Amino acid sequence: MSKRGLKLFFVCVVLLGSVLQMTGCNKSQRILEKLAIDHTIGYDLDDEQKLSVTAAIINQGEGGSEVKQELITAEADSSKEAKIKLSRQTSRNIVSGQLRNTMYSMDVASQGIRKLIENLVRDPSISPRVKITVVNGSVQELLSSKFPNHPNTSQYVDHLLEKNWKNQNIPQVNIYQFTRDYLDDGVDPVAPIVRKKGDNVIVDGLALFKDDKYVGKLSPDYNMLFAMSRGKYRQGEIYIKLDQNDSDGAVMLGTVSSDKKFKVWRKRSGGFVVELFLEVKGDIMEYTGNVLLSNHKDIITIEHGISKYISNKMEDMVDIMKDKRADNVGLGKQVRNSISYKEWKNINWDELYPEVTFRCTVNTKIKSTGEILEIPVPSRE
Amino acid sequence: MKERLYSTHIALLVFMIQTGVAALSLSRKAAVYFGTNGWLSILILGCVAAINIVLISVVNRLGNGMSVFEIMEKSIPRFIVIPIYLLLAAYLAAIGCLVGKQYIHIFQLIAFPTASPLMLQGCFDVLVLFLVIKGIYNISKAATVFSFLILWMVFLLFAFSNDFEFERMTPFVFKGGRDMLEGAVDMFAAFVGYELILFVMPYADRSKKWMRSVQIGNLMTTLTYFSFVFISFGFFSLGQLKIMIYPLLDMLAYIQLPFVERLENILFSFLLFTVVVTSTMYTWSAGEAVHHVFPKANRNIMALFIVFITFLLSILPDTLYKLELWLKILSYGEAAFSFAFPIFLILLLLIQGRMGVKNRV
């Protein structure tokens, strides 16, 4: 009896499961061809400083083969109001479950994007992996531009960001990560900047945020250094110009990996010193200087050169951030973790931050110098 | 030979009763009430539950496996016992149905916003009814099978290794929280459920091992909760954790496989199994209490009646906010019940023991 009973029970579970599935076929039936799949949402400010929302919508053409991008724009106070207004402009149902990217013009970002992000987090149909991107220029203009090699602009930008993130040229910044850093004390969020350049879109560096407001830009040269300061860096590439007397030329390091460690000291005069220890490893892929790579001593000279370059550049980067009063590397987090809770709550980190001394010590190790030693200069005797 | 519940079944049954929808908001509550490194509170609560189970095992030992109803009826006159049973039944049934309703509400939030909640609740209650009328042995067997559909999900935690950071946890312990005691009771709602074992006692294997397996069940629950609350404290920042209503759901939503995204819809469906077992066991316990009021009534019809009444009850809270408020109040009562009831039974047993000795003298 019990075995039969259990069997019956499982049959019922399966049946009820199918009934539950069928509830989806009720009135809310969704046919792909009749949906307007929201792929990218862009926010601009118009001349009257009102929010203008642009949605790049992907339409699956009849028959299933053709994918077209449609662009609609509406003026609104919020993204959801915009959705209602936008839906009046399209014959299809707008759905946001496949949203991949949200783009903010610098004007919008400098006014603060907290409310816009909050509404994205609130909507359960929107994935926490939706990207956050700042656009240098008008978002609408970028999305409506036609790029000859890339018929679908919104997808092109999305893939561009994805690829650059995978190569660690830019940090991955999505709704989850932005909210996480925004709500953590002792670290401020960042976002990649893109810009139209001729027939292409390029990554134009990093947007520095102070809380939820865009305050400044970091040039693309710092992308890799920023990645090193924030986490483990794997499989990257750096191009370094050595400008020392004994080892001039340029080095390109491949398969770069780095590990970081922070240490915090107190200054005698009050305030803090934060030191970042970086261990960088890589292989020489290209070298244009005149030091002999076969000589171990010279390799050490190059290693020192690279270390010095990275540490100087890293300190420059933090100086830029300090100027903008944005703690994007997360020095506050390091200081917080080194003092007592009471002390952390008593200090005003925003005021203290620009006074913090930042030092970077780099230890570079060159693992190999490639497959050859050096092609000798032809002798003319 | 009469069937008996074996220790493995009991461990998994306890695990399945304890785990449920309350787990979804556990990380937030730990962050709000306990503040930094709130995950430590899970271990404390797990220990509290373990102590509670020790009390229950004392009842089991003193009463020599007697059912709670027998213990009570021995010392208390029937006209007092009957209202207690009815109250108990109503209370247990209410918890059972509201737990189910909460699951359905959240399911609607993420997956079926337009489906009728009544219909979903109806389907859910039919499942519960089918299980309840099959009796405790089959419930525990089903719970064993269902637990395998849940346990594998622990491995999903590895998906968060990339975004996990120890630095986010801070070196501070329990700073920035508020109302820790109130919070502890609120969070304890995720642990309760093991007290239903009191009603299972007469059906269990007579060996001493089975109380140990209740402890193992509780340990499994504690470790499962601990692992994901711990991960969520390194994955989310504290400020973020405090504002996420269901952090576990957001974590599931973050998992991405090369071929599919937005896994939370399917993963959340797996939680159905543990919620069904929880709801079933509460309804079954309510049925046990009612059975002792009307010993001659047909059990199946009684189960049908209870499920129907709870179905009607579950229509009342129509918003998630209202529902969670009800559940919060009920879970406060449940936490008190899970401690007070065994202590009350122990006192009864001690009095009975002394009277028994006197009578013999």
Q: What is the ipTM of this complex?
A: 0.89
Q: Is A166 exposed, middle or buried (0-12, 13-18, 19+ CB in 10 A)?
A: exposed
Query: Would you say B34 and B40 are in contact if contact means Cβ atoms under 8 Å apart?
Result: yes
Q: What is the mean pLDDT of residues A69-74?
A: 86
Nearest C-alpha in A relative to B169: A337
Is some CB atom of chain B closer than 8 A to the CB atom of A311?
A: no
Question: For residues A299 and A369, what is the distance between their CA atoms, to the nearest angstrom?
Answer: 9
Q: What is the mean pLDDT of residues A179-193?
A: 95
Nearest C-alpha in A relative to B136: A2
Q: What is the mean pLDDT of residues B97-113?
A: 89
Choose among B36, B142, B253: nearest Cβ to A9: B142
Instruction: Output the pLDDT for position B361.
Output: 62
Question: For residues B264 and B262, what is the distance between their CA atoms, to the nearest angstrom?
Answer: 6
Q: What is the mean pLDDT of residues B136-159?
A: 91
Per residue in A4-47, pLDDT (tens digit) is: 666 766 676 676 666 666 555 555 566 777 778 889 999 999 88
Which residues 6+ apart lie within 8 Å of A91 measured at CB? none
Nearest C-alpha in B relative to A172: B163
Nearest C-alpha in B relative to A345: B176
Instruction: Output the pLDDT for position B1.
Output: 45
Phi/psi-derived region of residue B64, left when phi > 0, alpha when psi is between -120 and 50, beta in every other case: left
Tokens, residue B273: 């199994």
Q: What is the mean pLDDT of residues B101-120?
A: 87
- What is the 3 state secondary structure string of B288-355? HHHHHHCCCCCHHHHHHHHHHHHHHHHHCCCCHHHHHHHHHHHHHHHHHHHHHHHHHHHHHHHHHHHH
Chain A interface, mutation test: which of B262, B264, B267, most A Cβ atoms within 10 Å? Answer: B262
Choose among B172, B240, B262: nearest Cβ to A341: B172
Name the residue among A188, A228, A375, A378 with its Cα closest to residue A309: A228
At B12, the amino acid letter reads L
Per residue in A38-62, pLDDT (tens digit) is: 899 999 998 888 899 999 988 776 6
Is some CB atom of chain A closer than 8 A to the CB atom of B240?
A: yes
Is some CB atom of chain A closer than 8 A to the CB atom of B134?
A: yes
Instruction: Output the pLDDT for position A16.
Output: 66
Q: What distance in Å separates residue A181's CA from the closest CA in chain B?
A: 7
Instruction: Output the pLDDT for position A172.
Output: 87
Chain A interface, mutation test: which of B134, B237, B252, B320, most A Cβ atoms within 10 Å? Answer: B237
Is some CB atom of chain A closer than 8 A to the CB atom of B261?
A: yes
More confident residue, B252 or A371: B252
- Sequential DSSP letters for A78-91: SHHHHHHHHHTT-S
Domains and CATH numbers, chain A: 32-218 (no CATH), 224-372 (3.30.300.210)
CA B6 vs CA B136, B194, B226: distances in Å: 12, 16, 27
Is some CB atom of chain B closer than 8 A to the CB atom of A177?
A: yes
Per residue in A196-254, pLDDT (tens digit) is: 998 899 999 999 999 999 999 999 989 888 988 987 777 778 888 876 655 578 888 88
B-chain residues near A129 (CB < 8 A):
254, 256, 261
Chain B interface, mutation test: which of A119, A168, A260, A337, most B Cβ atoms within 10 Å? Answer: A337
Nearest C-alpha in A relative to B173: A341
Q: How confident is the model at residue B5 (pLDDT cuts 50, 70, 90)?
A: confident
- Across all residues in chain B, what is the average pLDDT? 91
Domains and CATH numbers, chain B: 7-332 (1.20.1740.10)
Per residue in B22-71, pLDDT (tens digit) is: 999 999 999 999 999 999 999 999 999 999 999 999 999 888 888 899 99
- Sequential DSSP letters for A255-320: EEEEEEEEEEEE-TTSSEEEEEEEEEEEEEEEE-SSS-TT-HHHHHHHHHHHHHHHHHHHHHHHHH
Question: For residues A80 and A51, what is the distance between their CA atoms, to the nearest angstrom?
Answer: 12
Is some CB atom of chain B closer than 8 A to the CB atom of A267?
A: no
B151 has pLDDT over 80 = yes
Q: What distance in Å separates residue B175's CA from the closest CA in chain A?
A: 7
Instruction: Output the pLDDT for position A1.
Output: 44
Choose among A2, A23, A333: nearest Cβ to B112: A23
Question: For residues A276 and A262, what is the distance between their CA atoms, to the nearest angstrom?
Answer: 5
Q: How confident is the model at residue B266 (pLDDT cuts 50, 70, 90)?
A: confident
Which residues 6+ apart lie within 8 Å of A98 measured at CB? A37, A38, A39, A58
Question: For residues B210 and B201, what is the distance between their CA atoms, to the nearest angstrom?
Answer: 9
Instruction: Output the pLDDT for position A65.
Output: 57
Lowest mean pLDDT: which of B34-38, B257-261, B306-310?
A: B257-261
Within 10 Å of residue A202's Cβ, how many Cβ atoms? 15
Q: What distance in Å separates residue B196's CA from the closest CA in chain A?
A: 22
- Per the CB < 8 Å rule, is A9 touching B131? yes
Within 10 Å of residue A6's Cβ, how many Cβ atoms? 16
More confident residue, B211 or B360: B211
Instruction: Output the pLDDT for position A3.
Output: 65
Chain A interface, mutation test: which of B121, B172, B174, most A Cβ atoms within 10 Å? Answer: B172
Q: How confident is the model at residue B139 (pLDDT cuts 50, 70, 90)?
A: very high
B-chain residues near A333 (CB < 8 A):
167-168
- Per the CB < 8 Å rule, is A185 touching B253? no
Instruction: Output the pLDDT for position B46.
Output: 97
Q: What is the mean pLDDT of residues B334-338?
A: 92
Query: Would you say B283 and B93 are in contact if contact means Cβ atoms under 8 Å apart?
Result: yes
Q: How confident is the model at residue B360 (pLDDT cuts 50, 70, 90)?
A: low
Question: For residues A172 and A191, what is the distance between their CA atoms, to the nearest angstrom?
Answer: 8
Per residue in A148-160, pLDDT (tens digit) is: 888 889 999 999 9
More confident residue, A30 or B94: B94
The size of chain A, in residues, is 381
Name the residue among A179, A178, A202, A203 with its Cα closest to residue A190: A178
Q: What distance in Å separates residue B197's CA from the closest CA in chain A?
A: 22
User: String of b and e for A236-269 (b: at least 16 CB within 10 Å)?
Assistant: bbbebebeeeebebebbbbebbbebebebeeeee
- Per the CB < 8 Å rule, is A337 touching B236? no
A179 has pLDDT over 60 = yes
Instruction: Output the pLDDT for position A137.
Output: 93
SS3 call for B176: coil
A2 has pLDDT over 60 = no
Q: What distance in Å separates residue A125's CA from the closest CA in chain B?
A: 7
Is some CB atom of chain B closer than 8 A to the CB atom of A23?
A: yes
Question: For residues A266 and A338, what is the distance between their CA atoms, to the nearest angstrom?
Answer: 10
SS3 call for A219: coil
User: Which A residues in the span 26-55 are in contact with B, Cβ-Cβ below 8 Å?
Assistant: 26-28
Rounded to the nearest 10°, the torsion over CA B120, B122, B125, B129 is: -140
Query: Would you say B49 and B243 are in contact if contact means Cβ atoms under 8 Å apart?
Result: no
Per residue in A276-327, pLDDT (tens digit) is: 999 999 998 888 877 777 778 888 888 888 999 999 999 999 999 999 999 9
Looking up tokens 């470790």 gives B223
Per residue in A81-95, pLDDT (tens digit) is: 888 888 888 878 888
Count Cβ–Cβ pairs < 8 Å, chain A vs chain B: 84
Instruction: Output the pLDDT for position A336.
Output: 94
A-chain residues near B126 (CB < 8 A):
12, 16
Instruction: Output the pLDDT for position A245.
Output: 59
User: Which A residues in the span 314-353 are in contact with B, Cβ-Cβ below 8 Å?
Assistant: 330, 333-334, 336-337, 340-341
Name the residue among A140, A136, A148 with its Cα closest to residue A199: A148
In sequence order, what are the beta bridge partners of A41?
A55, A102
- Across all residues in chain A, what is the average pLDDT? 86
Is some CB atom of chain B closer than 8 A to the CB atom of A11?
A: no
